[in-house]
Structure 1
């Protein structure tokens, strides 16, 4: 079975294209949203999802979230006895999602289409594929999140020449893409975004403000205190999303902290972040060479797009109300499911061709001649400009700096800055030049070819001899190579992960431990409940466990409402 996966910063979802169209699979707790959180218990066993999210409060040092932002980097996270890279943490989420899909469908998952932010770099895309491999599935296709959202809205069924802007604000990343439908082709004209802007940043604004106004030193907050505060603020942020006001009550040491905020004030506090949202919108429209009146629809997706300030920004910029009738949390996953149907060549889907664009400019380092006749190094010479439709192949001719030069170092970069020091180096290629009297006789043609799978091929041809040198940039600094993937796959297989059929029990206990951490007044009652539930678990009587778990959950629901 081929599945579609939305591997999100805060939540992840999985589904496929079934008989009735795109369908999402529930997790062990019966919901579609699986928190993208990993935790490790005292025995060194891995916990994923809602139970891990609750442990962010009770066991913050043994839990981690928002690691999607670290994809494509060599950053490592220690959780108990284990050390994980971002790819491995993502692989653990993927494994949980795959187990859910197989439990719900009774079929084995062999391949996946995974959505990624449109503005993900080469390294981040390759890290996502590596995560799929570590999870034991094949990932031949990545789909940009805005493109997936367009499929979920059925924009591919609109009339030819229709143009759409997809605004995707998730928990940790922001993407905007301009697409056009023409003769069965969904073509991406331009993509822009910010990989470090999302709902978590708006939560940071609330945290900074409440600490400032209640004279609390953020730097001195314990991980438990900060986890509790952010959880309360997340609830408040959702309340503000429905308009009106929200109250936050929080226990800080011996001090009971109360704080109120309304949506209007939240919007004022968030103005710097709203300004950051405007820049990619303007860049995408400028790159697509379109005016707002030339757009047929504007679509909002991503959980953070529920904030009223987002709808107001888009309405002001484009002079119309955006579409939001598909659940913003599920739109990308549903689109990935449709893409999985396309990948499987499902007969019920009309043939749709999805084009993509290169999200960053690709080029090489060159020297420039200054007014004094000397050469200054470190300049960036673009070969493939950002938002070029892929696959794309472009060539430029360069010549060595000096006469009689016999060696040329070709350094390949990705980025938008005129100086290479502020761009990302992807690799280098050494070229041997024949002995020639003048530099112009030793010209070298450099061809860049970039395909839909994010693979960049660099070819350098010495024009004097026809000698050809090639560099295929399938790997990037900070990305696992095949040998490392095999080694880490073996290591992951050796880690004990709590089975799916125990997830409901784990989630109930993790929730109880979180409430115990948060509410001092209810600790005695919670401790009694935890002891009783553990006794029932020891009985191994599934029917008794199921009934007690239900009652335990209902009791905690009432407790939270009363506190």
Structure 2
């Protein structure tokens, strides 16, 4: 039976779990159960992932990337030193470290994984997470929602109890709440709500503002323009936040925070818990509003809840407990370590996929409504553009498939531009544009009638959407997978990125190191001589273990010939074929 690990790719910390003898457990990363989701360049240009990267942040903030999860699915880059990297590339390094830790601890090769995402993640962010896993060398069997995973771990030993549970998941960078029904081994999500830009990072920022104000009051100088000073204050705020969860006050001391005219300036400040709580209360009010929205969507009141399950490290803040308890009348439960629950649930889902005899079935929902932009007509026959027609309402059980027929505006029309949106607003453009494609050469079903098309949305178990459209008159069909302005990497590009990561780790990130930049997501990235040389070097090492292997010799020659000829299409095909062959041979 092939082992499938579960990975919680968190904003601030990540974890990996497995199911052993029917029980989920965390796989340690070194000496710790959870690993900081931080990547950096050491002073020597070497790659740092996890605790070493987090430890250097205060000294080298410009050489350290943290909280990259908040940018997943966005067309953006971050910088480490002089080089630019996409969020999936940074996440791939985190995933690879977890992957290696799992193999080291388990003493066996691991190829398959279930990776969790916030329930309110967009389609693009889900795609980016899947691609990060693939670049890290994993076969991503499933993307599941974090509160759902936590409920799966929680419900594993409660298969004979019917319960309605609110999973309140407040992590380092995101917040989700899901209303889940547990009944006879079935974990069914009734509704989800959340905010992908709310979590412990925001609380740290609010606490840092208190420390900055104290420093300014004491010295009449602001540290805001000094990146290192602000990084030190953020780290101090994180530590102070943790202390304030168990103590009513904390004293923060940072020596030599700034030097002005040769004079060192220190921070020595006391912060009371009630000050911190006042600074973050408005943010926590938003989580309670989300809880109410989820309850409303599920068609129940808080009185009908049996449990409120807390997940995520930020639920340790006493004010969070107080506000949720007062609002629901239920004492929150922490049946599982909040930092580990999501990874444990992902491991359970992995075990289910692998065919292990666990008494659990997962039924999840899509967190956002999905639809297209259409034109409506008023009573006078005038067109009203930018109307949002929903095909899949939010909180619909996945997988699901929905179809509707839409007609053009006038008989002479031969093309329809389909714009696909995600969101809840009646005006299409006020929602998130996932993608668009032009469906042309349409024909009317009858003379004098505008053309008509059938639009179908298919939302899979990962919450990822595929769109198809059928011309009713001609039977012509078009289809696409929406990517929310996020271009799906081809197999060759993913394989090329894997090679790049291997070379980065082998040779370091200093000057001359192989670059995994934003351009690495474009096909021409495989023309870079360094990448081709890296791939061929890997092939030569494999050839030493398989002397005279004719298939490998032919594949190497095909890549060299295509590269020398400058034929991009042939080069991509040859590169993909060589990498596939290498993976097969290396597995033997």
TM-score range, shorter chain: 0.7 to 0.9
Q: Which residue of 2 aligns with 1:384?
A: 392
- Given the alignment of the two structures, is residue 282 of structure 1 paired with residue 296 of structure 2, yes or no? no
What residue in structure 2 maps to residue 12 of structure 1?
A: 14
Alignment of 1:322-333 (within 5 A): 322-333=332-343
Point out the more displaced range, 130-139 or 11-20: 11-20
| Counterparts in 2 of 1:355 and 1:324: CA distance versus 1, 3 Å | same
Q: Report the more deviating stretch, 388-397 or 259-268.
A: 259-268
Q: Distance in 2 between matches of 1:303 and 1:439?
A: 63
Q: State the 1:391 CA deviation.
A: 1.2
Q: Which residue of 1 aligns with 2:560?
A: none
User: For the residues of structure 2 that align with 1:397 and 1:480, how far apart are their CA atoms?
Assistant: 28
**Per-residue displacement from partner, 1:95-146 (whole Å, max 9, x unpaired)?**
1111111111111111011111111111111111111111111001122111
* Superposed CA offset, 1:171-192 (max 9, x none): 0000100111234321111111
1:244 and 1:20 map into 2 onto residues whose CA distance is 42
| Structure-to-structure mapping, 1:406-555, within 5 angstroms | 406-429=414-437, 430-435=439-444, 442-463=451-472, 465=473, 467-473=475-481, 475-482=483-490, 483-496=492-505
2:369 aligned residue: 361
Partner of 1:538: none
Supply the distance in 2 between the matched residues of 1:377 and 1:20 (Cα, whole angstroms).
Answer: 55
- C-alpha separation between the residues in 2 aligned to 1:217 and 1:367? 57
Which residue is equivalent to 1:293?
303
Matches within 5 A, 1:207-286: 207-215=208-216, 220-251=224-255, 252-253=257-258, 254-286=264-296
Whether the 8 Å contact between 1:168 and 1:176 is mirrored in structure 2 is: yes
Partner of 2:538: none
The offset of 1:339, in angstroms, is 1.8
Pick closer, same or farther for the CA change 1:439–1:38 going to 2, 3 Å.
Answer: farther
Provide the residue aligned with 2:185 in structure 1: 184
1:502-547 deviations in Å (ceiling 9; x for gaps): xxxxxxxxxxxxxxxxxxxxxxxxxxxxxxxxxxxxxxxxxxxxxx
Are the counterparts in 2 of residues 42 and 80 from structure 1 also a CA contact under 8 Å?
no
User: Which shifted more, 439-448 or 180-189?
Assistant: 439-448
Given candidates 23, 26, 30, the residue that maps to 2:28 is: 26
2:62 alignment partner, SS class: helix
Name the residue aligned to 2:89.
Answer: 88
Q: Which moved more, 1:472-481 or 1:362-371?
A: 472-481
Structure 2 vs 1, CA of residues 281 and 497 (structure 1 numbering), >3 Å: closer, same or farther?
farther
Contact 1:401 1:439 in 2 (8 A): no
Instruction: Check conservation: 1:16, 1:337, Cα contact below 8 A.
Output: yes
Counterpart CA distance in 2 for 1:95 and 1:263 is: 38
Q: Distance in 1 between matches of 2:95 and 2:445?
A: 56
Superposition RMSD in Å: 2.2
Secondary structure of the 1:249 match is strand
- Name segments (4+ residues, structure 1) moved above 4 Å: 216-219, 435-441
Alpha-carbon offset, residue 468 of structure 1: 4.0
Structure 1 residues 329, 479: CA separation in 2 closer, same or farther (over 3 Å shift)? farther
Pair 1:399 & 2:407 matched: yes
Q: Provide the secondary structure at the position in 1 that maps to 2:505.
A: coil
**1:434/1:474 CA distance change after superposition, 3 Å:** closer
Distance 1:217 1:65 in 2: 27
Q: Which moved more, 1:45-54 or 1:153-162?
A: 153-162
Question: Deviation at 1:167?
Answer: 0.3
Give the aligned length: 495
Q: In structure 2, do the counterparts of structure 1 residues 497 and 385 end up closer, same or farther at CA, with 3 Å as the change threshold?
A: farther
The structural deviation recorded for 1:458 is 2.3
Q: Which residue of 2 aligns with 1:148?
A: 149
8 Å CA contact retained: 1:179, 1:190: yes
Identify which range, 291-300 or 12-21, moves more after superposition: 12-21
Equivalent residue for 2:107? 106
Q: Deviation per CA, 1:10-45, whole angstroms, max 9, x where unpaired?
A: 0111121112622222223x1111110001124432
Question: Residues of 1 paired with 2:54 and 2:471: CA distance?
Answer: 56
**Deviation (angstroms), 1:487:** 3.0
Aligned position for 1:540: none
Tell me: CA distance 1:269–1:491, structure 2 relative to 1, closer, same or farther (3 Å): same
Q: Taking structure 1 as reference, are residues 377 and 123 closer, same or farther at Cα in structure 2, changes over 3 Å only?
A: same
Structure 1 residue aligned with 2:542: none
In structure 1, the residue corresponding to 2:57 is in which secondary structure?
helix
Normalising by structure 1, we get a TM-score of: 0.83
SS at match of 1:495: helix
1-structure distance, mates of 2:239, 2:464: 42
**Structure 1 residue matching 2:58: 3-state secondary structure:** helix
SS of alignment partner, residue 190 of structure 1: strand
Residue aligning to 1:544:
none
CA contact (8 A) 1:359 1:387 kept: yes
Give the gaps of 5 or more residues in structure 1. Answer: 500-563
Q: Assess if the C-alpha contact under 8 Å between 1:211 and 1:217 holds in 2.
A: no
Using the TM superposition, give the Cα deviation of residue 449 of structure 1 relative to its aligned residue in structure 2, in angstroms. Answer: 1.8
Residue pair 1:13, 1:34 contacting (<8 A) in 2 also: yes
Change (3 A) 1:20 1:71: same
Structure 1 contact 60–223 (Cα < 8 Å) conserved: yes
Asked whether the 8 Å contact 2:224–2:230 carries over to 1, the reply is no
Aligned to 1:531: none
User: How far did residue 496 of structure 1 move?
Assistant: 2.3
Structure 2, unpaired ranges of 5+: 259-263, 509-588
Q: Distance in 2 between the 1:401 and 1:229 partners?
A: 59
C-alpha distance in structure 2 between counterparts of 1:78 and 1:268, whole Å: 34
C-alpha contact (below 8 Å) 1:211/1:218 kept by paired residues: yes
8 Å Cα contact 1:405/1:436 also seen in 2: no
